[in-house]
Amino acid sequence: MLRTSHFPSKNETSDICSICLSSLIPGTPLLILSCNHKFHFQCLTSSVPAQHQLCPLCRASIDASIIQLLSTAHSGGDHQQRHVSPNMNQRVVHSNHQHRGKSSSISASRKDFVDKTNLQEITAQAVSTGQTATITVSTMLEFKGQLSQRQSNIYGLVSLQTPFYRQSSKTNKLSSRVPIDLVCVVDQSASMSGAKMFLLKKTLVYITEQLTDLDRLAIVSFDNHAYDRSHGFLQMNERNKYKLNMVINDEIEDGFSTNIGCGLEMAIELFRSHDTKNPVRALFLLTDGKDDEPQDYSHIIRRLPQDVVCHTFGYGADHAASLLVQLAEQGNNGTFTFIDTDDAVGPAFAIALAGLLTCVAQNIRVNIEFYGDYKVTHAHSAYTYEPEQLPSSKITFKLNNLNADEKRNLMFQLQVPEIEDKSSSQNQSILNHVIGHVSVVYDDPKRNLRFATRPGPFHLIRASNLSADDLQVNYQIDLQRNRIETTLALRQAMDEQDYGRSLELLKAQVKNIKSSVSGEDPFCQQLIKDLEYRYPNEHAYRSTNYNICRQHATERGTYSSVTSSSAKVYNSVHQFHQMDHFQSQRE
């Protein structure tokens, strides 16, 4: 029943609205249910039409008369409802028990729209500096030539390179960089107590300090429930930074068991429920454990918007590395990072953050086309491509984004046809042996423009007689083949449940590298060193090698443990700067 005569004392009900987590200030419209729990009238008004007809605290049924009253108020369009958080329904779902953390004083973030004026100024400034394409493209084939009278299958490679961006050494800030939307989903289960929680909080505070008032940040924590700590996205102005840092330090405490799904679901809903967005969007998911019961979150991660990349972090010895790798792969080709020590939490997040802050290209399409009977038979890439059914004379690789000072090597196999008609062979010579081309189109988020590179040719000499040099294996192709084959071997080894058999797969790959043309290359020697490393236990072996596998598959730099070295080649200068900056802040 709806009470109007008196309010219960503090020992009867909490002075916090468990829907919006704000204080119940006397004089504001309040509602007390028959179960004796008290809420803001506006909060409950929005909750009931959303099919939440139970008390958010005790799950007792709300009287039909109260539901009718609330529904009527909702349809009447109470002007005060505009201040209710757009993510309130999620908090109703996940707040059915009282948590030890203090309540948040941050108001709802619907007002924190993207600053379009500043975005336009950044775009205008970037355009005024010139419209030169950001990505440079190069091509190569395994051999300079192939005998015209023979059919063969050779490797091909397309390399993409982005430029280095300068930044101020004093402020550690990039000039006119693209604003970001970031959601940090962090584990606050019981196992996160002590040093883990202390270092996690320091890292979250560091992230807030690195963002500007053009960026938006949301923080979701979870144990067996999820908690919207920031009340949606907050623009990172000084006022909101101060408030959010108070929340980080005062409210995020080690709780109960682990339910990764509820935290992931709440974060995805934050992205989906906002009409406005910044050009770069990402989700960071950190956990030190695994769910009490094994779960498949494919149905949840599929709801992640296509322009949001999910980066996962496995903390310590008990996380489910295979699940986090799967979420990263399905989360629009994100990264997985194994955090092997407590002190590595900050550097791992700093490196990932540096990538977001230096994004230079999005929605990238690498279009490869070959002429005549030349056809792509296999694509060796972690990135999606079409058509999926090969062979085909055309293939398009799809990449979500590229950051400054990054390189991608897209490898494929090419069917080289026999040329019986001599005149056809002569025509090839006239055309400078061009058998195909590649072009790249992409969005420049800083200039708000779509670019297309000039077509780059593939050259292959076709003749009945070729020199030894023409038939020499290309060194860079062989190097990239070792990377691809090592990635495949690592993935097969991680999928192999038998520990001994898993080790044998890596041992076989070491032999392959040693016998290759580029086997003595420093990069290949680092691959061998990583593959031969002996770990103290199977979990460390699998977690570290999952990390290495994902790094080589995406060619994106993430934190590397002290036991691995081959993937550090992917770290950009900006990532090293960001990591050094984090370390200097701790001193």
Dump pLDDT digits (tens) for 554-587. Answer: 999 999 988 899 999 999 999 999 999 888 876 6
Helix, strand and coil in the chain, % to nearest 5: 35, 25, 40
* 3-class state of residue 226 by DSSP: strand
* 3-class state of residue 562 by DSSP: coil
Structure-block tokens of residue 493: 């080894």
Average pLDDT value for residue range 295-311: 94
Q: How far apart are CA 348 and CA 140, in angstroms?
A: 34
Residue 407 banded pLDDT, cuts 50, 70, 90: very high
Among 332, 354, 573, 362, which residue's Cα sits nearest to residue 447? 362
Percent share of the chain, pLDDT over 70: 75
Burial environment of residue 412 by CB neighbours within 10 A (0 to 12, 13 to 18, 19 or more): buried
Comparing 22-26, 56-60, 376-380, 496-500, the range with the smallest average pLDDT is 22-26
Q: How far apart are CA 104 and CA 418, in angstroms?
A: 71
* pLDDT (0 to 100) of residue 118: 62
User: What's the DSSP call for residue 167?
Assistant: B
pLDDT at 50 > cutoff 80:
no
Among 287, 54, 85, 64, which residue's Cα sits nearest to residue 189? 287
Structure-block tokens of residue 562: 């002290």
pLDDT at 358 > cutoff 90:
yes
Distances (CA, A) of 567 to 229, 340, 554: 35, 16, 10
Dump pLDDT digits (tens) for 516-565. Answer: 999 999 999 999 999 999 999 999 999 999 999 999 999 999 999 888 99
What is the DSSP annotation of 546-560? HHHHHHHHHT-----
402 pairs with which residues across the strands? 361
Q: How far apart are CA 466 and CA 148, in angstroms?
A: 10
pLDDT at 482 > cutoff 90:
yes
Contacts of 439 by beta carbon, 8 Å cutoff, 6+ apart: 137, 367, 452, 453, 454, 455, 456
Average pLDDT value for residue range 411-425: 82
Question: With the C-alpha atoms ordered 159, 477, 418, 425, is the resulting torsion angle positive or negative?
Answer: positive
* 490 close to 480: Cβ distance less than 8 angstroms: no
Residue 129 identity = T
Structure-block tokens of residue 361: 């290209």
Comparing 54-68, 69-83, 422-436, 455-469, the range with the smallest average pLDDT is 69-83
Q: How far apart are CA 538 and CA 499, in angstroms?
A: 7
Average pLDDT value for residue range 68-93: 40
Dump pLDDT digits (tens) for 459-470. Answer: 999 999 999 999
Q: How far apart are CA 569 and CA 192, in angstroms?
A: 32
Which domains does the chain carry? Answer: 1-84 (3.30.40.10), 134-164+367-472 (2.60.40), 474-568 (no CATH)
Structure-block tokens of residue 293: 């019961």
Q: Name the packing angle between helices 499-514 and 522-532 (round to 10°).
A: 160
Structure-block tokens of residue 92: 């109703």
pLDDT at 77 > cutoff 50:
no
Measure the CA angle with vertex 508, ends 512 and 329; round to 5°.
90
Backbone angles phi, psi at 299, to 5 degrees: -70, -25
Q: How far apart are CA 80 and CA 59, in angstroms?
A: 26
* pLDDT (0 to 100) of residue 37: 73
Structure-block tokens of residue 142: 């395994």
